[in-house]
Structure 1
Amino acid sequence: MPDVHRTALAEDSAEVEVLTANIDKLDGLRKKIQGSLNRLETNGKNMEDAIRPVYGNTSGLQTMNGNIDHVIDAIDRIFEPVEGARREERIVKAGPRQVGLPDYIASLERATRSLAELKNSNFQCNQQAMSEIETWLKGGTMQMEDIFRDTLREDARPVEPLHFITKQLPFPKIPQEKVTLLQTINTHIMDSVAQTSTQGKREYPSVKIYTDVRGEYIAISLRNLASASVSTARKTSPDTLYRRGTSGIGTYANCLAGLYVSEYENVYIIFPRDEWIRVFTTTCNSSFSEFNKTLRELNNHIKSNIITDCYLAFEIIEVIQKVSVDLERTTGSAMKVQLSDALKPIRDTAKAAVTMLLEDTRSRAQSLAVLPSDASTIPLTAEVMRRLQSLAGFLEPLTSVMRALGDGGWSASSSSAASSNKAFDVGADGPSLFAHYASDMLDALVGSLEGKAKQMKSRGVAGIFIANNVAVIDRGIRTSELASLLSGLAPKVEMWRKKSVQAYVDAWKECSILLFDVQYTNRAPRPPSTAATVDSAAMIKSMSSRDRDGVKEKFRQFNTSFDDLVSKHKQLKMEREVRSMVQTEITRLIEPMYGRFWDRYHEVDKGKGKHVKYDKQTLTSILQSLG
C-alpha cells in the first residue's frame, strides 16, 4: 500500500479518535447538565412549597387591613349624622329670632336629615342620640309653630263682607310673601313630624293652627250676615208674599262663597296636594255649620208660612245651586256634598209647597161663604196671579223641583205610581212644566169659582163675576213675564171669557126678543128690512088698532126691561176689559134690533114719547154709556 494512502488513513483515523473523544466529553457534559436541571427543579419545588404559605398570609393581611379601613370609614359615617346634628343643636336652641329665620329653617332641615339618616342606620348605639335630637328638634318645631301662628294672625282680622260684594272686589287673601313663608314653615313642620312621630296617622300641628285661625276668621266675618238672613226674612204683615231679595240669604251665601274661594287659594299654595281638601274643609267647618244652622232656621220659618214664604225656599235653592257651581269651578267638589246635604230640607219644603199652593187655591175658592153681590172680583184671584208671577221669577229652581215631582206630580190627587214614573225627568222642559202647573192652578181656581157662582141670584151676575175674575187672570198674564210662559193658555182664557160674557148677554136677549116683529103672510106686504127708508106713519096707518096696541105693548115692555137691565148693569162692578166687551156684545144685540123696530113703528104714538121712550140716537147713547 502506498505510503500516501497509509498516511491519509492514519490522519482520518486520528480525526475519528478525536471526534469520538469529543462526543464522549459532550455526553458527559450533557449528563452533568441534566443532573443540574433535575436538582434545580427539585429545589424550585421545595422553594415554592416554602413560599406559598407566606404569600397566602400576606394577602390575607392585606384584605384584613382593607376591611379594617372600611369599618373605620363606616363607623365614621355612622357617627357623622350625630356630629352634624350636634352642630345644629346650638342653632336650633338659640331660636329663629336670634339666628334669623332662613338660617334657623336651614339648620332644622339639616338636623331633620341627620335624624332620618340615624333612623335608617338602625344601630342600637344611636338610640340615645336620636332621642336627644328628637327632643330639641320638637322644641325647634314648636318655635316654628309659634311663628306660623303669629304670621297667620297678622292677616286674620275679620272683614266686612258686604264691602267686597257691593263693590265687586275679590275677597282678601294672605299676602304672597307671607304665603311663601308659611309654605316653607309648613314643609319643615311636616318633615319634622314625619321623623319624630311614631303614630301611623300623623297629625300635623300646622294644619290645626291654620284651620283654627283661618276658620275663626271666616266664621266671625260671616256672623252678622247669618243673623241678618233670618231677621230680614221675618215679616210685619203675615199675609204679604215674600219678595225676591227680602232676606239676606243671597248676600250671605255669596259672601260665604267669596271667602271660601280666597281661602282655597291660600291652602293650595301652603299645603301639599294630598292635604288640600282636608285642610280646606276643616277650615270651613265652623262657618259652614253656622250657615247650615241658618238654613234650618229659614226652613222652619218657611214651613210655618209656607203659602206666603215658599218663594224664599226657591230663592235659597237658586242661590245655593249657583254658589255650588262657583265653588266647584274653583275648589273642585270639596263642598258639593255638604251644600247638597244642607239644601235637602229646603228642597223637600219646596216640593211640599208646590202641592200646597195648588190645594190652597182650590180649597179657598171652594170655601167662599159669600160671593160679592155686585159681581166684583175676589182678592183670591189677584193673589193667585201674584203667586204665579212670583213663581215665574224663580223658574229655574222651581222647575228643578217640578222635575223631581214629575209632570202632574204636584197634584195631591195624582196617583203615586203615575207621578213616580214621571219623576226625575232631567230632560223635561222647564217652561212647559211651569205652564202645566199654572194651567192646573187656574183650572182649580176658575172651576171652583164657577161652582160657587151657581149660588148667585142670577146667571147674568154669575157670568160677570166669572168674567171679572178671568179678566184679572188675563191681565196678570199679559202684563208680566207670564206672557211668554203661558202663551199657550190664551185659548183657554178666551173660552172662559166668552162663556162668562155670553151668560150675561143672554139676559139681554129676553129684552131683544120683545123687538121681534110678527108678520102675517095674508096681509099687506112686509115693509123692506133693508137700508131703504121706511114710512113709519104709513106702516102704522095700515095696521089694525089691535096690531097698533100690540106694538105699543112691545115698546112698553122693552122700555121696562131695558131700563131695568141698564139699572142693574150700572150696579155691577166690572173690570175695564169686561165692561168694554159686554157693552160691545149688548150693543151688537140690541142696537140693530131696536133701530129696525123703531124705523117701522116709532109713529105709533105720533112723537109724544108716551110709548116710544127712546129714539135711535138716545138708545145708542145709552148703550155707549154701558161701557
Structure 2
Amino acid sequence: MAVGLNNGRAAADEEARAEVDVLNSRLEKTTQLTKKIQACLGRLDATGKSVRDVAGPLNGETKKLQVLGNNIEAVLAAIDRLRQPVDSKNDEEQIIRMGPDKAGLSSYLASIKRLTKALNEMKASNIRSTQQTVTDLQRLVKSGNTQLEASFDKLLRAETPRSIEPLHYITKSKQFPILSQDKIARLGLMNSHISVVHQQNTGAGSSAQESPVARIYAEVRSQYLSASLVNLAAASANTAKKKNPDAIYRAGTNGVGTYAQAMEGLFLAEYENICSIFTREDWGQVFQATCQPALVELGRTLRELNNHIKAHMPTDCYLAYEIVEIVSSLSNNLESRTGELKSSLAASLRPVRETAKSSLAELLEETKRKVGGLQTLPPDGAPIPVVSETIQRLQSMVDFLRPISSIMVSLGDGGWKSAAASRGGAGDAIPSLASFDIGADGREIFAHYCTDTIDVLMVALDARARVLLQKKSPIGVFLANSVTIIERMIQNSDLAALLDSRLQVLEQWRKKGTTLYTETCKDISVHLFDVIHTSRGGGGGRPASGQGAVDSASILKSLSSKDKENIKSKFQAFNTSFDDMVARHKQYSMEREVRQMFAKDMQNMIEPLYNRFWDRYHEIDKGKGKYVKYDKSAIAAVFLTLY
C-alpha cells in the first residue's frame, strides 16, 4: 500500500516537471520574438525618418505649385474680364454720345453704371497695359455725368415757367402748380445718380447744396419764385403811399397780406417738388437755397415799408402791427409744414418789429409834443381835435390787438414808458409763446397802455390849459369836455370791453374839472351866508331847523338898519354874480353831458342856500323886486335853463 502511494507521487512530480519545461521553452521563444519585434520597430522608425526627410520638401513644393496655379488662373480670369470693357467700350461710347434723351434715361444710366464698374475694376488691377483704356473710360464716365447734369437742367427749365400770376390762384382758391409726376420721376432718377457720384468724388460729408443738381435746381426755381413775387412786392410798397398822407392806416389796405399769402403758396408747392426729387437729408438745404432770393426781396420790401412807417408813425404805426402779424403767421405756417425758414423770416421782420415796439413809446411822446405845441385853446372851453385823435388811435389799435398783444407781452407791463425799453430785445428771433411770461395777458397789458395814454393826454391838456386859459372855469369846462369825449368814444367802440373796469382815471379828471368849474359857485354862495345876530326878544330869533315856516317879516323887524342894508347888499351882489354865472355858463361850449353835469352841480350848491336866504330875508323890499330879483320858483326856473 505504501509502495503504491510513492509510485503515484513520483508520476505526478514527473508530470509537473514536464509542464514546467514546456512553459520555460515557450517563455524563451516569447523573449526572442519580443527582441525581433523591437529590432523591426527600430529599423521602421529609421526608415520613416528617412522618408520624412525626403517627402517634406516635396510636399512644400507641391503646395507652392498649387498657389501659383491658382494665381495664374485668377490673372487669366482678370485679363478675361478686363478684355470685356475694352471690347464693349465702343458700344457704351455710342450710348453716351446719344445722350439720355435719345438713348432713354434708363439705358443711359445703366450704361454709365457699367462703365463706372469697369473703370473701378481696371483701376484696381493696376495693369500698366490698360492705362489707356482707363483714361478712355474716365472720359466716357465724366462725359456721361456732364450730359446727365445738362439733361437735368434742360428738363427742369422746360418744365419751369418764367413766372406765374399768384393772384389767379389766390382769388380762385386754387393750389399753386407743382412739377408733373413723370418729370419729377425723371429728375429724381438723375438726381439719385449724380448725388451718389458727387458724394463719391467729394466725400460723405459734402452738403446737398454743393451737389451740381441741387445748385441747378436752386438757380432755376429761385428765378421762377422771385419773378412770380416781384409784382406783389412792388405793390406792397406802393400801397403804403396813401393819397391822403394824414389818413390813419386801415387794416388790409396794404398789399403785404396778399404778398405773404402768395409766398406761402409758392414756397409750399416748391417744398413738395423738392421732397419728391431729393432725398430727405437734402430737403432743408435745397429748400433754403431755392427760397433765398425771394426772401432777400421780402427783406428789402419790408425795410422800405419800415422807412415809410417811421416817417409817418402817428398814422401808419398800425401797418407795422399788421406786418408783424402777417409775417409771423407766414413763418409759423411754413415752419409747421417744412421745419424751415423761421430764422430767415425773423431777420426780414426784425426792423418792422422793432419799429412796432418803439411806436408805443413814441406815440405817447407824440401826444405830449402835440399838446405842448398848441399856441391857443378855445376860450369857451371847447374840446380840441387832439383828444378825439388820440382815442381814435387807440380804437384803431384794437383792430390789431393780436400782434399788439404779442408786442405788449414781449415788452412787459409798462415797458412802453421808456423809449429805450421799447427799442430793446435784440436778436432776429420771432418771439414764441415759450419766450413770454406764461402769466402775462397781452389784452390786460394793452388796457394798461390805453389808460396810460389817456392819463398822459389829460396831464398834457391840463398843463397847457393852465398856461393858455388861466381862469378856472374855462379850464374846468375844457377838461370836462375832454373827459366826456374820451368816455363816449370808449363806450361806443371795442375799447369798452377792455377799459370798462379801468376808467377810474377818467373819474379823477372829471372831478378835477368839476372842482375848477364850481369855484364860481363857492364865490356866489358867500353872498348867501349871513352873520347877522338877531335879538333874542320879540320872537325874531333864528328858528331851529325843522321848526316850520320862517317869518321873514319878523326876522327883518329884529334887524338893525345896518343889518338890513347888509342884507340888501347881499341880495344885489348875489343877483349880479348869479346873472354873470348864468350868462357865462350859456356862453361856454360844453358837451351835452358836461352842461347837464355842471348845471346839476351848480343847482345843488346854490339853490338850497338861496332858498334858505330867501325864506329869511325876501321881505326886505316888500315884494317890489328891487333887491330880491328871484323868488324860489324863479331861480329854479333859471337853473332849468342851464341844463
Provide TM-score, normalisation by structure 1: 0.80
1:579 aligns with 2:595: yes
2:74 to 62, 70, 83: 70
1:370 aligns with 2:383: no
Give the counterpart of 2:281 among 256, 274, 277.
Answer: 274
Q: Specify the code of the residue in structure 2 equivalent to 1:454.
A: R
From 450, 461, 469, give the equivalent of 1:449. 461
Counterpart position of 1:462: 475
For 1:135, the equivalent position in structure 2 comes to 139
C-alpha displacement of 1:300:
1.8
Does 1:229 find its partner at 2:236?
yes
The amino acid of 2:578's aligned partner reads F
The partner residue of 1:481 within 485, 494, 500 is 494
Write out per-residue CA displacement over residues 139-186 of structure 1, whole angstroms, 9 at most, x where no aligned residue: 444443444334434243522223444454443322344323321221
| Range moving further from structure 2, 370-379 or 237-246 | 237-246
- Cα distance 1:288–1:415, how it changes in 2: closer, same or farther (>3 A)? closer
Task: Choose the corresponding residue for 1:329, options 336, 350, 356.
Answer: 336
Matched residue, 1:205: 212
Deviation at 1:603, TM superposition (A): 5.8
Distance 1:36 1:503, change over 3 A: closer
Supply the AA of the counterpart residue of 1:380.
V
Tell me the amino acid that sits aligned with residue 578 of structure 1: V
Matched, 1:191 2:196: yes
1:68-113: CA deviation from partner (whole Å, max 9, x where unpaired): 2222223334455555665433333333333433333443444444
Q: Given residue 262 of structure 1, which amino acid in structure 2 is its aligned partner?
A: A
Pairs within 5 Å for 1:425-574: 429-455=441-467, 456-487=469-500, 489-516=502-529, 520-523=533-536, 524-526=540-542, 530=546, 552-574=568-590
Partner AA of 2:281 in structure 1: D
Match for residue 345 of structure 2 among 333, 339, 346:
339
| Contact 2:199 2:206 survives alignment (8 Å) | no
Equivalent residue runs for 1:26-41 within 5 Å: none
Q: 2:177 aligns with which of 172, 179, 198?
A: 172
Aligned residues: 593
CA distance in structure 1 between the partners assigned to 2:331 and 2:163 by the alignment? 24
Matched, 1:349 2:355: yes
Aligned twin of 1:264: 271
Counterpart Cα distance in 1 of 2:559 and 2:421: 72
Q: Deviations over 1:406-434 (max 9, x none)?
A: 65554459899x999xx997865534543
Q: Is the 8 A contact 1:528 1:534 kept in 2?
A: no
Query: Does the 8 Å CA contact 2:411/2:421 hold for their aligned counterparts?
Result: no
Q: State the Cα distance separating 1:229 from its structure 2 match.
A: 0.9
The residue type equivalent to 1:579 in the other structure is R
Q: Does the CA contact (< 8 Å) of 1:362 and 1:444 recur in 2? A: yes
Shift of residue 373 of structure 1? 0.5
Q: Give the alignment partner of residue 90 of structure 1, picking from 83, 90, 94.
A: 94
Partner-residue secondary structure (3-state), 2:474: helix
2-structure distance, mates of 1:452, 1:223: 50
| RMSD (Å) for aligned C-alpha atoms | 4.2
Provide the rounded CA distance (Å) in 2 between the counterparts of 1:600 and 1:490. 44
Secondary structure at the aligned position of 2:503 is classed as helix
* 2:534–2:558 contact (8 Å) kept in structure 1: no
Task: Give me the whole-angstrom Cα distance separating, in 2, the residues matched to 1:424 and 1:208.
Answer: 40
Question: Which structure 2 residues correspond to residues 371-390 of structure 1 after superposition, within 5 A?
Answer: 371-390=377-396
Moved more, 608-617 or 367-376: 608-617
Identify if the C-alpha distance between structure 1 residues 436 and 72 changes in structure 2 by more than 3 Å, giving closer, same or farther.
Answer: same
The CA distance in 2 between the partners of 1:582 and 1:119, in whole Å, is: 106
Task: Give the superposition deviation at 1:568.
Answer: 0.9
Structure 1 pair 581/414, CA: closer, same or farther in 2 (3 Å)? Answer: farther
In structure 2, C-alpha distance between the alignment counterparts of 1:53 and 1:91, rounded to whole Å: 57
| Offset, 1:43 | 11
Percent pairwise identity: 45
Letter aligned with residue 291 of structure 1: L
Residue in structure 2 matched with residue 15 of structure 1 by the alignment: none
| Deviation larger for 337-346 or 100-109 | 100-109
Scaled by the length of structure 2, the TM-score of the pair is 0.79
In the TM superposition, residue 570 of structure 1 has moved relative to its aligned partner by 1.5
* Deviation readout 1:296-335 (Å, 9 max, x if unpaired): 2112222222333233223222222222222221221x32
Find the aligned partners of 1:531 and 1:578 in 2 and give their Cα distance.
Answer: 38
Aligned partners of 1:438 and 1:313: how far apart in 2?
18
Distance 1:390 1:45, change over 3 A: closer
Tell me which residue corresponds to 1:22. Answer: none
> How far off is 1:502 after superposition?
1.7
**Residue identity matched to 1:159:** I
Letter paired with 1:473: I
Q: Per-residue deviation at 1:459?
A: 0.7
Q: 2:236 touches 2:259 (CA, 8 Å); kept in 1?
A: yes
Quick one: which amino acid aligns to residue 465 of structure 2? A
Corresponding position of 1:156: 161
Quick check: 1:171–1:262 contact (8 Å CA) kept in 2?
A: yes
Whole-Å Cα distance in 1 between the matches of residues 205 and 533 of structure 2?
117
Task: Please tell me the residue identity of whatever aligns with 1:190.
Answer: S
Please state whether the residue corresponding to 1:91 is helix, strand or coil. Answer: helix
For 1:591, which of 590, 604, 607 is the aligned residue? 607
Q: Which moved more, 1:153-162 or 1:461-470?
A: 153-162
Quote the offset at 1:381 in angstroms: 2.0
| Cα-to-partner distance string for 1:218-262 (whole Å, 9 max, x where unaligned) | 111111111111111112333333333332223222322332222
Higher deviation after alignment, 449-458 or 119-128: 119-128
Q: Does the CA contact (< 8 Å) of 1:317 and 1:343 recur in 2? A: yes
- Give the deviation of 1:369 after TM superposition: 1.7
Contact in 2 for aligned 1:408/1:419 (Cα 8 Å): no
**What is the alpha-carbon distance in structure 1 between the residues aligned to residue 363 and residue 528 of structure 2?**
50
Note if contact 1:406-1:419 (Cα within 8 Å) is conserved in structure 2: no
CA contact (8 A) 1:116 1:195 kept: no
Q: 1:193, CA displacement in angstroms? A: 4.1
Cα deviation for residue 617 of structure 1 reads 4.1
Cα contact 2:358–2:419 (8 A) shared by 1: no
Deviates more, 1:91-100 or 1:559-568: 91-100
What's the secondary structure of 2:394's corresponding residue?
Answer: helix
Q: Is the 8 A contact 1:431 1:485 kept in 2?
A: yes
Distance 1:37 1:315, change over 3 A: closer
Report the Cα offset of residue 593 of structure 1. Answer: 3.1
Letter in 2 for 1:574: M
- Report the CA distance between 1:494 and its aligned residue: 0.6
Alpha-carbon distance in 2 for matches of 1:176, 1:513? 97
C-alpha distance after superposition, 1:443-473 (max 9, x if no partner): 3322222222223252111111111122233
